[in-house]
Structure 1
Amino acid sequence: MTGIFYGIGVGPGDPELLTMKAIKTLEKVDVIIAPKTEKKDGSVALSIASPYLKPAVEIVYQVFPMVTHFEQSPQSWQKNKEEILNLLNQGKNVAFLTLGDPMFYSTYIYVHRLLKNEAVPIKTIPGVPAFCAIAGRLEYPLVEGNDIISVIPATADAEKIKKVLAVSDNVVVMKVYKNFDEIVTELKKKKLADNAVMVSRCGLPDEECIYDIAQVKQVPNYLSTILARRSK
């Protein structure tokens, strides 16, 4: 019998933010797929989930290229896909860990696409996105009344970002390690910088919160998010 493939969102950093469904699944799966980058050892997602793993669980690290579209590096993705399928065909239940939510700017989305046409059952378990955790942590309302909120990757086209900022009451800016200075400049122009906050590594021991984003001189950590709202 083929095992079940689970995509599990572990939230932004605090292990207590995992859902009960995620915890119950982690406690019973046979294999954990821990995505990592080529440049760093270990997995942040795995460290978050570690309190809930059974002692005998098998840990498999997989490296995924940092690309915009997974089709750009088919060999690496295909190798990871075959490794997952081999585990599932052995009857093992496999959990793929992802920061935040599995369907939100996640590597899991591409893995899901690779597996959905295979004869394997897939279950996706949602998680808390970083911007929701930050809003709750700082008591920072994301939207109210008829506010319009936009979620913007700082890696997007500059002109597209300008247009979105022009019509949004509130914004969430992800991936701010890219084009940070340009993003801050545009937030200022659109009167969104005065009520902005940037949080890096939310829920992790070295979490950092910065309210005066214009004073940031170094490139922000990869796990950094800006929340901003227009001055009334």
Structure 2
Amino acid sequence: MSGVFYGVGVGPGDPELLTVKAIKAIEAADVIIAPKTEKKEGSVALTIASPYLKPDVEILTQVFPMVSDTEILTEAWASNKQTILTLLAAGKKVVFLTLGDPMFYSTYIYVFRLLGDSGYPIETIPGITAFCAIGSKLGYPLVEGNNILSIIPATIEQDKLDKALALSDNVVLMKVYKNYQDVVAKLKRHQLADNAVMISRCGLPGEEVVHELHTAGDKKINYLSTILARRI
């Protein structure tokens, strides 16, 4: 029997925000893959999915390095791909967990492409993104009417960030942990700071909401942090 590969979005943090389809896939899995970088201990995605794991499921941690060294990346990806293919050849149901949605800034996208010509069936199960969860949690409409919503990684080139902020009525800023103070300054410059809010670790232990962005000061911003901002 042929194995099946599932990419499952586990949402932003609250285990109750998983879809019924995601839960069914996790409960039926023979192998759960929990991706991580070499810098992190444990897997947030695995913690979120833990209420739905069957007792005898095999849990496999795969490291996906966040480095620019092509040789290291190629070796790691090739090794991870071969491990997955071996499991699928054995007829296993393999679930690859990912925070949020699998097709949104996710490591899963690269795995999906790597396995695209493998001949094994692949099913991608969507998940709730952090910014959607934040909007609902805080009663913060993301976009209305004919307004423009831009989803922006704060790590892009500064001129591109300025252009995106200038054109947008509402913004979702991802990856703000690297240059938080610069991001806040740009939001002020584009009249987007007064109606902005940041939430870190949405739905997870240690969740923090910051309505006045300047009050964060110079403290280290959590990796799982997102800013919502609007002009009105």
How far off its partner does 1:40 sit?
Answer: 2.1
1:40 aligns with 2:70: no
How far off its partner does 1:214 sit?
Answer: 1.3
- Residue pairs, 1:184-203, within 5 angstroms: 184-203=184-203
1:50 aligns with 2:50: yes
- Over residues 82-141 of structure 1, what are the superposed CA-to-partner deviations in whole Å (9 max), with x where a residue is unaligned? 001111111000000000000000000000010001111100000000000000000000
How far off its partner does 1:39 sit?
Answer: 1.8
1:92 aligns with 2:92: yes
- CA–CA distance in 2 between the matches of 1:67 and 1:112? 20
Is the 1:70–1:110 Cα contact (8 Å) retained in structure 2?
no
1:171 aligns with 2:171: yes
Q: Per the alignment, do residues 175 and 70 of structure 1 end up closer, same or farther by CA in structure 2, a change over 3 Å counting?
A: farther
Secondary structure of the corresponding residue to residue 59 of structure 1: strand
Counterpart of 1:161 in structure 2 is 161
Counterpart of 1:182 in structure 2 is 182
Is the 1:7–1:102 Cα contact (8 Å) retained in structure 2?
yes
Is the 1:5–1:96 Cα contact (8 Å) retained in structure 2?
yes
Secondary structure of the corresponding residue to residue 152 of structure 1: strand
Counterpart of 1:119 in structure 2 is 119
Which ranges in structure 1 are unaligned for 5 or more consecutive residues?
Answer: none
Is the 1:70–1:77 Cα contact (8 Å) retained in structure 2?
no
* Matched length: 231
Secondary structure of the corresponding residue to residue 73 of structure 1: helix
- CA–CA distance in 1 between the matches of 2:198 and 2:70? 29
Question: Which amino acid in the other structure matches residue 26 of structure 1?
Answer: I
What is the TM-score normalised by the length of structure 2? 0.96
- CA–CA distance in 2 between the matches of 1:6 and 1:90? 15
Counterpart of 1:133 in structure 2 is 133
- CA–CA distance in 2 between the matches of 1:39 and 1:152? 24
Secondary structure of the corresponding residue to residue 173 of structure 2: strand
CA RMSD in angstroms comes to 1.4
Is the 1:37–1:64 Cα contact (8 Å) retained in structure 2?
yes
- Percent identical among aligned pairs is 66
Question: Which amino acid in the other structure matches residue 80 of structure 2?
Answer: N
How far off its partner does 1:66 sit?
Answer: 1.4
How far off its partner does 1:71 sit?
Answer: 8.6
Question: Which amino acid in the other structure matches residue 46 of structure 2?
Answer: L
Is the 1:197–1:227 Cα contact (8 Å) retained in structure 2?
yes
Question: Which amino acid in the other structure matches residue 100 of structure 2?
Answer: G
- CA–CA distance in 1 between the matches of 2:70 and 2:114? 10
How far off its partner does 1:67 sit?
Answer: 4.6
- CA–CA distance in 2 between the matches of 1:103 and 1:48? 18
Q: After TM superposition, where is structure 1 displaced by more than 6 Å over at least 4 residues in a row?
A: 68-72
Secondary structure of the corresponding residue to residue 2 of structure 2: coil
How far off its partner does 1:180 sit?
Answer: 1.1
Greater alpha carbon shift after TM alignment, 68-77 vs 161-170: 68-77
- CA–CA distance in 1 between the matches of 2:14 and 2:132? 13
How far off its partner does 1:219 sit?
Answer: 2.6
How far off its partner does 1:68 sit?
Answer: 7.5
Secondary structure of the corresponding residue to residue 28 of structure 2: coil
Q: Per the alignment, do residues 70 and 208 of structure 1 end up closer, same or farther by CA in structure 2, a change over 3 Å counting?
A: farther
Question: Which amino acid in the other structure matches residue 222 of structure 2?
Answer: N
